């Protein structure tokens, strides 16, 4: 395994916190990405849809710009497309069942000292660690 990019993590975390703070200050909204993305498809008004689309474009565009500046990303998929599709579906179902995702609960909810967000984030982390353990150490 390669060494972690600590500086990149610090910069990325700072940018996430700044973006979440700006969204709260200017729009009065929590930066829960699953809810923002869902609102792209289900938002009623044009203004409501516009800021959500702009947020998603900024999220994807920022990653694309970083990838281009860094000389491209080397991605190795450890699963088939079907497995990845099923995993994405399960993550989406989990965000609906948990009333939010890691950005809404883990970044914004913990900052607001929400007990519900603490429980949700602990659950995300526990099952994430359990999944990594099973995928690396348990044979099927």
Scan for tokens 């890691």, then name that residue: 102
The model carries a pTM of 0.71
Q: Where are the beta strands (DSSP E) in the chain?
A: none
Note whether 109 and 116 are within 8 A (CB): yes
**Token pair 């607001």: residue:** 112
Point out the residues of the chain with pLDDT beneath 50.
Answer: none
What pLDDT does residue 1 have?
52
Question: What is the number of other CB atoms lying within 10 angstroms of the CB of residue 114?
Answer: 17
**Structure tokens, 45:** 């008004």
The pLDDT of residue 57 is 93
The tens digit of pLDDT for each residue in 66-80 reads 888 878 777 777 778
The answer to whether the beta carbons of residues 20 and 31 sit under 8 Å apart is yes
Give the pLDDT confidence score for residue 9 in this predicted structure.
82
Predicted local distance difference test score (pLDDT) of residue 140: 62
End-to-end CA distance of the chain: 23
């Amino acid at each position: 395994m390669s060494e972690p990019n600590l500086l990149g993590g610090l910069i990325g975390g700072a940018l996430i916190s700044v973006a979440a703070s700006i969204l709260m200050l200017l729009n009065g909204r929590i930066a829960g990405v699953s809810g923002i993305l869902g609102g792209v498809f289900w938002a009623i008004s044009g203004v409501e849809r516009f800021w959500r689309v702009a947020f998603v474009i900024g999220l994807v565009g920022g990653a694309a710009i970083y990838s281009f500046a860094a000389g491209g990303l080397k991605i190795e998929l450890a699963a088939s497309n079907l497995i990845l599709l099923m995993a994405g579906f399960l993550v989406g179902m989990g965000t609906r069942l948990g009333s939010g995702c890691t950005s809404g609960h883990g970044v914004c909810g913990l900052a607001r000292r929400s007990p519900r967000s603490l429980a949700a984030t602990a659950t995300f982390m526990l099952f994430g660690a359990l999944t990594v353990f099973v995928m690396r150490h348990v044979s099927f």
